[in-house]
Chains A and B, each alone.
Chain A
Amino acid sequence: MYHIPKKGLTVWRLYGLFNTLFVLILACIASFLTYKFEWSVMIYFIAAVIVLICAITLIWLFPKIRWDHWRYEVREHEIEIQSGLFVVTTTLIPMVRVQHVDTAQGPILKKYDLANISISTAATTHVIPMLITNDADQLRSRISVLARVAEDDV
């Protein structure tokens, strides 16, 4: 089983940072309103605590757990993906069922030279995130080759 590259963890932390900033902005608005309309002082504390919790969980804790849990393996006949935050999910997809494979890359991922692969079957879509772009492209073409070779002999 392969791990996600360490860079992926950095990107997840970055996402967490953005989310925390968003929460921070909301908290600032709430504090400003509290100041202006002279609401209870408690609101300052609550806002501060919420921002702090978000910062700890979204930037430090969750990305770490998620990164620890993520594994993937592409074998000749099936793809196995393990993921999850609180509940660890192990998914098994036979090559025969793979309909198409996509890679996607946003601006942040591009900066870090990473890409997401998503594998679609007739009913489901599964993602392997944060792969080095080169690896992702190779993996994509490998899956598509394997999926073409795999015969439905059941």
Chain B
Amino acid sequence: MSNNRYKLHPVSTIINFVKGLKDLIIPFLIIFVANGFNVSFNPKEEGFWAELIPLVIMSIFTLAYLFNGVLKWWTFVYWFEEDELRVEYGFLIKKKRYIPFHRIQSFNYKEGIFHRIFGLVQVMVETAGSTDGKPEVILTAITKEAAKQIEQVTRNVKQNNMDSLTDVEGNVAILEDENSIIQPQRTILKMNMKDLIILASTSNSIGVVLAGVAAVLSQFSEFIPYEWIFEEVSSFIKFGFVFVTLIIFAGLLVAWLISVMITFINYYNYTVIEEDERITITRGLLEKKKITIPLNRIQAIKIVENPLKQLFGYSSVVVESASAGYGEKDKKMTLFPLISKKKVYQPLQELLPAFEWEQSLTRPPKKAKPFFYRLDFFWIVPLIGLCSYFWFPFGLLSILIIIPVIFLGLWQYKTTGFAIKGNQLTIVYRIISKVTFVVEKKRIQAIQSKQSYFQRRKNISSVQAIVMSGMTGATAKASNLNEHDAEQVLRWFEKSNA
């Protein structure tokens, strides 16, 4: 193996620098706002020099970041040696990191705007150990060929190790056969324009965008001449009503357009490919991202339907994976952001043939119905009490909140259920969105049944399964089942009954 030492592409200095600037934006803004924006450029004015101090500090920081970016690029080298990917950087404090190839779980790629101009790519190396949400090694910018080379070297080394292993065990022929069959690459899902628009309209983020637009509009309300409008309008009340409706409608439209735009930028050309026991997701318009999940790292699958999606017969699929963070904050990995409920099982079946997706569920008994909303009264009753006391008599209207809470409880009751089939456990539950949680027995870390005093009197009990996901694990809970059904899940989990 060659011991060439490779450097990053010089553009990585700029990328490092820009990334650093992003962190600085907020302190800068605070300084500016605190200053009241009155930065003067006239040296003769009083207090000019005092006002200059923040500017000077800012430029020092900026320069430091730039210098740091250059230095990091200058010292950063990576090379391959002794079946390891070795990385070294740092000027005063040298940091070295050696990663054995067989420990590498996956490579994830990201292409920002700078990367795309120069045909570069950012590589994030993921190992099993990197559960703190950060990739083990980040190569900020290298050419696409270099990225391919790293992947190729890794694959070769892994292959060689396998071969040498088989030599020892003496069944070379079989494994060589397996190696020689190059698994075809299968496209599992590709999203088109229509999907993207529906996704934009039904995702939870539209609420956030709505709030944002409302906030911006309220900022502009200073400029709307209300008095004039009211004077004019007092004689045309009907016109006023139309006007307000129009404004609300325009706000909704703008929010929707922004949401579509954001979704379009993030999810443009969303493709899921299965190849060589791993799933690869590519997406993005301006910033291209490529994420790889090895199939054997998947702990559980969640089919999530928020009420809006459920209404239109759509769902999304989320993967709980053992390695946290793909260079992103969320440990959960969205596999299919939007897929019609009717079609969802087919690609999942292709990806994970071991699972069965459609099952008849064991439901909670009728007597469990009140348990789904009774506990909520703990916080509702004091809330209503306080509201009624402080805002009498209108506060009494807060009693109405009971209706949606009970309705939601009944909805949760209707949704909840579980199914056991062979080594597979399916739990369906709802907090607000309906979640179908599918997991294999060998991926479950622990199973718990929970029973309060009141539940025991009615022979009702809840069951939850905990799987590994990032740092903390993920939990799926089927609430208020019949006691013997809950018991059944526990006994199923015991090894002696396997």
Contacts and interface: CB of A to CB of B under 8 A. Distances in A.
A104 B470 CA distance: 26
Contacts, number: 72
A148 interface: no
A60 B482 CA distance: 33
Contacts of A88: 450-452, 456
A154 B448 contact: no
Interface in B35-87: none
Interface stretch (A12-20, A108-116, A120-128): A120-128
Nearest to A119: B446
B451 to A, nearest CB: 5
B445 interface: yes
B interface majority secondary structure: mixed
Interface string A82-124: 0010111111111111000000000000000000000001111
Interface residues of B, number: 29
A126 B448 CA distance: 11
A94 B453 CA distance: 27
Interface string A59-73: 000000000000000
Contact of A94 (B440, B448, B467, B493): B493
A78 interface: yes
Contacts of B445: 93, 97, 121-124
Contact of A90 (B448, B468, B498): B448
B497 to A, nearest CB: 10
B493 A92 contact: yes
Contacts of B494: 77-78, 92
B495 interface: yes
A152 interface: yes
Interface in B387-405: none
Interface in B424-444: 440-442, 444
A11 B441 CA distance: 38
A123 B469 CA distance: 7
Interface of B: 322, 423, 440-442, 444-453, 456, 466-469, 472-474, 490, 493-496, 498
7 contacts: A88-B450, A90-B490, A121-B446, A122-B445, A123-B469, A123-B474, A124-B446
Given A97-B444, A123-B473, A123-B474, 20 more contacts: A77-B495, A78-B493, A78-B495, A84-B450, A88-B456, A89-B449, A90-B449, A90-B450, A90-B490, A91-B447, A92-B447, A92-B490, A94-B446, A94-B493, A94-B495, A97-B446, A121-B468, A122-B322, A124-B445, A124-B466
